[in-house]
């Protein structure tokens, strides 16, 4: 799961998901729901590194 500006992206139960929320409370409740089934957010530094790798690979092609 990746969290960003009240939007959660991830992969669960063999499916990718993208869910948006209108407020902080709904967003935090969704994060808790995902954590209850064993999904945790990536740490921002890991995401930045991953995104940089993807961007550099796309730029090379």
Residue range 32-54, pLDDT digits in tens: 998 898 887 765 556 777 788 88
Q: To the nearest whole percent, how much of the chain has pLDDT over 90?
A: 18
Domain residues for the domain of 22 are: 2-60
Name the domain count of the chain.
Answer: 1
Classify residue 35 as left (phi > 0), alpha (psi -120 to 50) or beta.
alpha
pLDDT value at residue 3? 56
pLDDT value at residue 29? 94
Classify residue 21 as left (phi > 0), alpha (psi -120 to 50) or beta.
beta
**pLDDT bracket for residue 21 (50, 70, 90):** very high
């Amino acid at each position: 799961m990746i969290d960003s500006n009240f939007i959660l992206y991830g992969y669960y139960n063999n499916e990718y998901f993208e869910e948006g929320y209108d407020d902080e409370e709904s967003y935090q409740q969704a994060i808790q729901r995902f954590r209850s089934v064993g999904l945790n957010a990536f740490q921002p530094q890991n995401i930045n590194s991953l995104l940089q790798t993807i961007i550099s690979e796309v730029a090379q092609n």
